[in-house]
């Protein structure tokens, strides 16, 4: 007997939350450590992470990674977390140490930024048992070199050119290489990214400040 209705249990106190677009469910997903991941929220905001519904969290930030930040993010996430370990300002042995610490603390994978050298990527790959997600930002990136060095997954974030980069990567590696990509702001952009070959989509949520601004606007309207 087929049941199409999905029961849902709601909380009176947690009605305000960040939900990833439903269109993301159309992608194939990537099975990582026995868990199928289709949607990833791109955030380091602990409040947003705890009040959102993605399959996983992509926690990459524009500062030197530290163990304190890694611990805080891992303790705040109910879902698998992929943590940034450098590649730009931070690289070499320091990135390796951060990656090892992330694995021991329970990260599902580590994310390396686009500038990371392939020799450093290979050093990390030799030492970890969790996936390495290599960020790709341009059609001119060294796709093959990153894969040969040990990248298990591509994280394609090329702005308005993301779809073309996804398509190029898919043409080079065929259907089996895992690709995560930024999906854009509309359902149409997300669907086009999936059609180009993305297996999973990262979604950038509104910030806590943006959400709170909307809450305060409603509070002010209720007082009129």
- pLDDT tens digit sequence for 18-50: 899 999 999 999 999 899 999 999 999 998 999
CA-nearest of 49, 106, 103, 101 to 78 is 49
pLDDT per residue over 168-185, tens digit each? 999 999 999 999 999 888
Q: Check residue 89 and give its pLDDT.
A: 74
CA-nearest of 176, 196, 170 to 31 is 176
Residue 3 lies in a domain: no
As a whole number of angstroms, the distance between CA 171 and CA 43 comes to 30
Q: Check residue 64 and give its pLDDT.
A: 86
| Residues 6 or more apart in contact with residue 207 via CB below 8 angstroms | 45, 48
Residue 213 lies in a domain: no
* pLDDT band, very low/low/confident/very high, at 2 (cuts 50, 70, 90): low
- Supply the range of the domain harboring residue 51: 22-205
- The alpha-helical segments, DSSP class H, found in 64-207 are 67-76, 92-105, 118-127, 143-149, 162-173, 187-196
As a whole number of angstroms, the distance between CA 12 and CA 29 comes to 31
Q: Check residue 3 and give its pLDDT.
A: 67
As a whole number of angstroms, the distance between CA 97 and CA 24 comes to 34
The two structure tokens encoding residue 80: 């698998």
CATH code assigned at 88: 3.20.20.70
* pLDDT band, very low/low/confident/very high, at 138 (cuts 50, 70, 90): very high
Residue 205 DSSP code:
P
Q: Please give the tally of structural domains in the chain.
A: 1
Contact assessment for residue 107 and residue 74, using Cβ atoms and an 8 Å cutoff: yes
Residue 84 lies in a domain: yes
Inform me whether the pLDDT recorded for 1 exceeds 70. no
Residue 214 lies in a domain: no
As a whole number of angstroms, the distance between CA 203 and CA 19 comes to 10
Residue 7 lies in a domain: no
CA-nearest of 4, 7, 37 to 202 is 37
Q: What is the mean pLDDT of residues 113-119?
A: 91
Residue 212 lies in a domain: no
| Residues 6 or more apart in contact with residue 193 via CB below 8 angstroms | 162, 163, 166, 181, 182, 183, 184, 201
**What mean pLDDT value characterizes the chain?**
91
Contact assessment for residue 179 and residue 9, using Cβ atoms and an 8 Å cutoff: no
Residue 1 lies in a domain: no
Percentage of the chain modeled with pLDDT above 70: 98
Residue 222 lies in a domain: no
Inform me whether the pLDDT recorded for 81 exceeds 80. yes
Q: Check residue 218 and give its pLDDT.
A: 80
Residue 40 DSSP code:
E
The two structure tokens encoding residue 192: 């086009």
């Amino acid at each position: 007997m087929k049941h199409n209705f999905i029961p849902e249990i709601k909380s009176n106190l947690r009605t305000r939350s960040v939900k990833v677009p439903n269109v993301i469910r159309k992608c194939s997903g990537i099975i990582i450590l026995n868990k199928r991941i289709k949607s990833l929220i791109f955030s380091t905001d602990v409040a947003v992470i705890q009040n959102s519904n993605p399959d996983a969290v992509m926690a990459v930030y524009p500062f030197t990674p530290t163990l304190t930040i890694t611990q805080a993010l891992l303790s705040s996430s109910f879902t698998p977390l992929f943590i940034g370990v450098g590649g730009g300002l931070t690289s070499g042995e320091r990135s390796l140490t951060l990656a090892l610490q992330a694995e021991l603390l329970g990260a599902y994978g580590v994310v390396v930024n686009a500038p990371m050298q392939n020799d450093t990527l290979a050093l990390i790959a030799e030492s970890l048992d969790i996936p390495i997600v290599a960020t790709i930002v341009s059609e001119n990136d060294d796709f093959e070199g990153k894969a040969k060095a040990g990248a298990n997954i591509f994280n394609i974030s090329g702005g308005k050119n993301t779809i073309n980069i996804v398509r190029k990567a898919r043409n080079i590696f065929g259907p089996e290489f895992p690709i995560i990509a930024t999906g854009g702001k509309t359902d149409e952009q997300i669907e086009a990214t999936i059609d180009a070959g993305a297996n999973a989509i990262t979604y950038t949520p509104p910030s806590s400040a943006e959400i709170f601004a909307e809450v305060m606007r409603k509070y002010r309207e209720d007082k009129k």
